[in-house]
Amino acid sequence: MLEIRNLHASINGKEILKGIDLTIRDGEVHAIMGTNGAGKSTLSHVIVGNPAYEVTEGEIIFNGKNLLEMNTEERALEGIFLSFQQPVEIPGVSMTHFMRAALNARRKHEGLEPLPAGEFLKLMREKRKIVELDSKLANRSVNEGFSGGEKKRNEIFQMAMLEPRFSILDETDSGLDVDALRIVAEGFNKLRRPETSAMVITHYQRLLDYLRPDIIHVLIDGRIIKTAGPELALEIEEKGFDWIKEEAGL
Amino acid sequence: MKQYIELYEQCRGMLNGHSAPVLNALREEAFGHFRQMGFPSQKVERYKYTDVARHFAPDFGLNLNRLSIPVNPYEVFKCDVPNLSTSLYFVVNDQFYDKALPAVPLPEGVVVDSLCRAAETFPELVKHHYGTLARSRKDALNALNTMFCQDGLFVYVPRNVVVERPIQIVNVLRSDVSLMVNRRVLVILEEGASATLLFCDHAMDSHAFLTTQVIETFVGENAHLELYELEETHVRNTRFSNLYADQKAYSSAVLDNITLHNGVTRNRTDLTLSGEYAETTLNGLVIADKEQQVDNNTLIDHRVPHCQSQQLYKYVLDDKARCAFAGRVLVREGAQKTVSQETNANLLGSREARIYTQPMLEIYADDVKCSHGSTVGQLGEQAMFYMQQRGIPYEEARMLLKFAFAADVLSTIHLDALHDRLNYLVDKRFRGELNKCEGCRMCKN
């Protein structure tokens, strides 16, 4: 379970998050919607511990542990995963090397031995099928020369490999065609478990049709100004955000 | 400088007495040049980045009397680069080790032997080449090496002979006191010949070593040479190596220089393309941290038309490493249709690490395609964050990025087994598991 209380965060001295309260229980999928520049990506980066952002107030508790006391990799090892809006290209580091380092770090954290090479490759084969990535993946450098769609599928592939407790999908639907969107969304759904939860950042109803979130939050100007059931997304699709802003007196 | 002049004057007889006439013949002339020039100051462009005199100031022992050094390298090094079977030879300090030689014979006519002995056996051949590329008047270190060298290695591949099996030479530094070694290497590939040479430099003892090495390489018409040099010594080792190569028409050469671990190293590579349609590839990889210093200084001299040269040097530096790359490509008047690329890329892992980079291109012909450039960068913050978000620890993420940076130099190594082995060694190096030379890791598992 993730609990965010009165979270304030800034970048380069500019306050972006101005008091976020949010609770996501096991098994739940929450969607965060909002206008550009409202702070959605900032929220996701603050949760995973991007050192570029400074938390000035508030707390984030994950399964009883204070996330703000942990660095990026410690949070990841606790089971927090971010599907990046813009996955980073790492020339020269093969997906195999990268994934093995990540998976074995996780296993070590859980007190397990590194996975033998044969089993690891078998696992890679199995998991890449979930997002329909081909066999060349293993030898390619991380995200280098990947199309926009491949990059997003690669994010979900990594999620499948690492089996996080809590995932953030940061505009995973942006730049995807209809087929790729379906592959990514169905891939995500296959990975859902009763004990996992997720936060989905998106501008579009299309992705939410697949993911069926339990709760929708509207984030405007660094604050959550409305929280409701899935029907809210449909209303936003139809009417935009202005009415919500008015309702909130903004 | 004075100590070397005095030493030479006192030991002339001893030097000559334990070497061959062909080698002795150039000693006096070299001495004259050295006395006149002295050690190059840092005002000399080529030596801008290394204070030579300082490294020669301490007193080192020299083994001018050729006392035999108790060592059996074959027992120390059970050489077994996985899947790479080489014809393996050892040179202990400057002395060719001939107590046991490779079981598989070399192709007929091919010679791998002590330079001193070769100078007795093939005096005309050696005389015809020795000292003709590494002129004493050109460089004080050539002069010093020529004054003091008594032996080294001789490799000869006759016309149209292809040596399939790589020839591996392990240079072992071995001494009970701090030691100066002056090693000389002569490599001759005649017309149409082909060979792969792998030099591995190691120090068996933790004493301070100062080595001067001069390698003269002759690549005949249509010949093919691959020459890999790998230094894996320790922080008390100082190496000054001058490699000269001359390539005739239609020849090709790959010269790779890798510094995995060292103390102070200066490698000069001076390559002349003297025959048309010759091709050359010069690659370098430097991994340095602590207070290690590596200065690679190259010259590719395009003297005739239709030649190609490529150069890629990469440095991965950390801690307080101070390194330099200066690469000069000279395209002479009339060397039309030259194609040349020069790249130096550097990755700095700390604030204190320093790289001086100086790619130089001088063109005196008007129909050529040349480029040169260098980059200096740090580890990518975004990539670091991305990897850490996946749970990869900070140090591991740094190592993966460094390894990735070095990978494209390693990928230029044509010997697959060596390529794999180097990947392994570089990986270990970045993990900090290769901090001192513990013997020939190329050879020992």
Mean pLDDT estimate for chain B? 92
How far is it, in rounded angstroms, from Cα B252 to Cα B257? 17
- Could you tell me where the DSSP H helices lie in B330-415? 381-389, 394-410
If phi > 0 it is left, if psi is from -120 to 50 it is alpha, else beta; for residue B230 that is: beta
Q: For residue A230, name the pLDDT band (cuts at 50, 70, 90).
A: very high
CA B393 to centroid of chain Cα atoms: 36
Q: Is the distance from CB of A207 to CB of A200 less than 8 angstroms?
A: yes
What is the average pLDDT across A124-132? 93
Q: For residue B327, name the pLDDT band (cuts at 50, 70, 90).
A: very high
What is the average pLDDT across A6-17? 96
Residues 6+ apart with CB under 8 A from B57: none
pLDDT score of B421: 83
Buried b (16+ CB within 10 A) or exposed e, B262-280: bbbbbbbbbbbbbbebbbb
Residue B132's φ and ψ, nearest 5 degrees, are -85, -25
What is the average pLDDT across A22-51? 95
- CATH classification of the domain holding A210: 3.40.50.300
Q: For residue B286, name the pLDDT band (cuts at 50, 70, 90).
A: very high
Q: For residue B113, name the pLDDT band (cuts at 50, 70, 90).
A: very high
Write the residue in B390, B393, B403 that is nearest to A162 by C-beta.
B390
SS3 state at A200? strand
Q: For residue B408, name the pLDDT band (cuts at 50, 70, 90).
A: confident
Minimal CA–CA distance to B216: which of B272, B164, B171? Answer: B272
CB contact under 8 Å between B401 and A102, yes or no, is no
Instruction: Give the angle B45-B48-B54 at the CA atoms, nearest 5°.
Output: 130
Mutate to test the interface with B, among A83, A93, A100 (most CBs of B within 10 A): A93
Mean pLDDT estimate for chain A? 94
What the block records as the tokens of A56 is 């000035």
How far is it, in rounded angstroms, from Cα B80 to Cα A45? 49
What is the average pLDDT across A123-151? 92
Nearest CA in chain B to A84: B386
Minimal CA–CA distance to B77: which of B90, B58, B64? Answer: B90
Is the minimum CB–CB distance between B430 and chain A shorter than 8 Å?
Answer: no
- Using CA atoms, how far residue B426 sits from A135, B254, B286, B419, B430, in Å, is 27, 20, 10, 10, 6
Instruction: Give the angle B439-B444-B445 at the CA atoms, nearest 5°.
Output: 130
How far is it, in rounded angstroms, from Cα B348 to Cα A173? 37
How far is it, in rounded angstroms, from Cα B175 to Cα B164? 34
Given a cut of 50, is residue B437 above it in pLDDT?
no
Q: Which amino acid is at A236?
A: I
What is the average pLDDT across B56-85? 74
Nearest CA in chain B to A97: B400
Is the minimum CB–CB distance between A160 and chain B shorter than 8 Å?
Answer: no
Nearest CA in chain A to B404: A92
SS3 state at A51? coil
- C-alpha neighbours within 13 Å on the C-beta side of residue B52: 25
* DSSP H or E segment with residue A33: strand A29-33
Is the minimum CB–CB distance between A73 and chain B shorter than 8 Å?
Answer: yes
What is the average pLDDT across B384-407? 94
Number of compact structural domains in chain A: 1
Given a cut of 90, is residue B415 above it in pLDDT?
no
Structural domain including A199 reads 2-247
What the block records as the tokens of B148 is 């003091």
Given a cut of 90, is residue B374 above it in pLDDT?
yes
Q: For residue B125, name the pLDDT band (cuts at 50, 70, 90).
A: very high
What is the average pLDDT across A215-244? 94
Domain residue spans in chain B? 2-430
Q: Are strands A2-11 and A54-62 parallel, antiparallel or unpaired?
A: antiparallel
* Per-residue pLDDT tens over the stretch B72-82: 776 556 444 45
pLDDT score of B386: 97
Chain B partners of A102 at a C-beta cutoff of 8 Å? 387, 390-392
Residue A73's φ and ψ, nearest 5 degrees, are -70, -30
How far is it, in rounded angstroms, from Cα B252 to Cα B194? 9
CB contact under 8 Å between B392 and A48, yes or no, is no
Number of H helices, E strands in chain A: 9, 12
Q: Are strands B151-157 and B111-114 parallel, antiparallel or unpaired?
A: antiparallel
CB-neighbour burial class of residue B445 (10 A; exposed 0-12, middle 13-18, buried 19+): exposed
- Using CA atoms, how far residue A143 sits from B31, B173, B269, B397, in Å, is 59, 45, 37, 16
* Per-residue pLDDT tens over the stretch A92-120: 899 999 999 999 999 999 999 999 999 99
For A:99-118, CB contacts with B below 8 A are 101-102, 105-106, 109
Residues 6+ apart with CB under 8 A from B95: B66, B69, B114, B151
ipTM: 0.96
- C-alpha neighbours within 13 Å on the C-beta side of residue B153: 29
Compute the Cα dihedral for B102, B106, B108, B112 and give only its sign. Answer: negative
CB contact under 8 Å between B404 and A90, yes or no, is yes
Q: Are strands A54-62 and A65-66 parallel, antiparallel or unpaired?
A: antiparallel
Q: How many CB atoms lie within 10 A of CB B5?
A: 14
CB-neighbour burial class of residue A188 (10 A; exposed 0-12, middle 13-18, buried 19+): buried
Chain A partners of B401 at a C-beta cutoff of 8 Å? 90, 92-93
Residues 6+ apart with CB under 8 A from A205: A233, A234, A236, A237
SS3 state at B303? coil
Q: How many residues does chain A have?
A: 250
**Which of A22-26, A36-40, B229-233, B410-414 is the most confident on average?**
A22-26
Chain A partners of B400 at a C-beta cutoff of 8 Å? 90, 93, 97-98, 101
For B:390-409, CB contacts with A below 8 A are 390-394, 396-397, 400-401, 403-405, 407-408
**Greater confidence, B432 or B225?**
B225
What the block records as the tokens of B178 is 């701090």
Residues 6+ apart with CB under 8 A from B358: B324, B325, B326, B327, B374
* Per-residue pLDDT tens over the stretch A51-66: 999 999 999 999 999 9
CB contact under 8 Å between B391 and A71, yes or no, is no
Chain A partners of B387 at a C-beta cutoff of 8 Å? 90, 98, 101-102
Write the residue in B386, B392, B396 that is nearest to A84 by C-beta.
B386
Nearest CA in chain B to A164: B390
